[in-house]
């Protein structure tokens, strides 16, 4: 196994909060999130939890683009599941799965996400 690429992204929570409170938030969510993520976001209790959730998912997707070197990845076609212990498990479908697995020969993707009051961050390692 060898590392194909690494990616990291960081975003200010205030930026995501402004998006959630904007008139175009629904359109943005559908352009960025997988339907499963939209449901999870809407099930969050308050705007602060929704903000952190959206920020961490945005960072994860941006970090995947950086790790893969592919700007054509489709954001709603990647999302994070969690194992029973809460470890984030990256999931890729459709076009993204085709590109990563068949074209780039990525076998494993590992990620870590974290947030603090003002920022969220994601780190992604892809290996072949």
In this structure, how many other beta carbons lie within 10 angstroms of the beta carbon of residue 58? 21
Mean pLDDT (the chain) is 96
Q: Which domains does the chain have, with CATH numbers?
A: 3-127 (3.90.470.20)
16 dihedral zone (left: phi>0; alpha: psi -120 to 50; beta): alpha
In this structure, how many other beta carbons lie within 10 angstroms of the beta carbon of residue 119? 16
In this prediction, residues 29-52 reach a mean pLDDT of 96
Strands (E) in the chain, as ranges, are: 3-12, 78-82, 88-92, 108-115, 119-127
pLDDT band at 28 (very low <50, low <70, confident <90, very high): very high
| pLDDT at 41 > cutoff 90 | yes
pLDDT band at 117 (very low <50, low <70, confident <90, very high): confident
């Amino acid at each position: 196994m060898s590392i194909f690429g690494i990616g990291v992204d960081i975003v200010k929570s205030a930026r995501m909060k402004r998006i959630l409170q904007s008139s175009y938030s629904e359109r943005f969510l559908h352009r960025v999130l997988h339907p499963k993520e939209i449901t999870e976001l809407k099930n969050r209790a308050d705007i602060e939890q929704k903000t952190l959730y959206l920020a961490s998912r945005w960072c994860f997707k941006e970090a995947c683009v950086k790790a893969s070197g592919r700007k054509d990845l489709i954001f709603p076609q990647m999302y994070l599941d969690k194992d029973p212990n809460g470890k984030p498990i990256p999931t890729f479908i459709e076009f993204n799965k085709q590109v990563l697995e068949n074209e780039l020969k990525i076998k494993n993707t590992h990620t870590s996400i974290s947030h603090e009051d003002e920022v969220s961050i994601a780190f992604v390692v892809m290996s072949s």
